[in-house]
Structure 1
Amino acid sequence: EEEEEEEEEEEEVEEEEEEEEEEEEEEEEEEEEEEEEEEEEEGEGKEEEEEEEEEEEEEEEEKKKKKKKKKKKKRRRRRRRREEEGEKEEEEEEEEEEEEEEEEEEEEEEEEEEEEEEEEEIFKNKFIIYLAFRKIKKCEY
């Protein structure tokens, strides 16, 4: 359970970090867009330079999208793996509990058998004593 909690905390931390990264990327993109707008307003850039910059930006965006996809895939794989491990651990725990219950039941049965044997032995001894007293009384008459 502690391991599961730690894993969940790790996942939360990872997700928070990824969200922060995404926010930073968005801020960078906004800054880039603002810079482009300023350049266009000032009329500094030439058409060729703008086209090259646009192509570069598109390439960067594609790279970022690919990175995001990879991160999502990784996250999903980790989550699935952790869930599978968690299920395995649960199954193992259930099996252990079942085994313990079976052992306890066996112990109880053994104790009951021992008690029954002791009671039978006591009954036999009492019966033997009874018969002995009967013989003694017969002898007296």
Structure 2
Amino acid sequence: MVTNGFLVDTDIIIRHLRGRQGSEIATKLITENLDEIKISVITVSELYAGVKGIAEETQLNKFLDVFEELPVDLEIAAKAGYFKNKWYSSHGSGLADCLIAATADHHKLTLVTGNFKHFPMLEDKLKVDE
């Protein structure tokens, strides 16, 4: 499958912003591929749900200004429902993960994640080890 860039999963952005284990790889990927990186609106929601304080929110706002956020439309929502129906029992793929996966699939993007287990439905994914 030919890809049109990268969709970065929530865990990778958190590692980058908080300097967690594996953040060097995440930071390198993000900084070297700025023009090719997209973020799902689901990831945006997950990031704001985890904000701790004004300073972190300011940092997140500045970070998100750089990237294109991809919305969820009816086709993506339907595909995500199918993914959850098929993969939740065996892989624990929750609705947020399925929406992110469906977004990557719809836009032909390579998903960058440290949560490989939750994305069995995607052929094009890049694991960043924890």
TM-score range, shorter chain: under 0.3
Please report the TM-score for the alignment, with normalisation by the length of structure 1.
Answer: 0.19
* Higher share in helix: 1
Please report the TM-score for the alignment, with normalisation by the length of structure 2.
Answer: 0.20
Greater Rg over alpha carbons, structure: 1
* Higher share in strand: 2
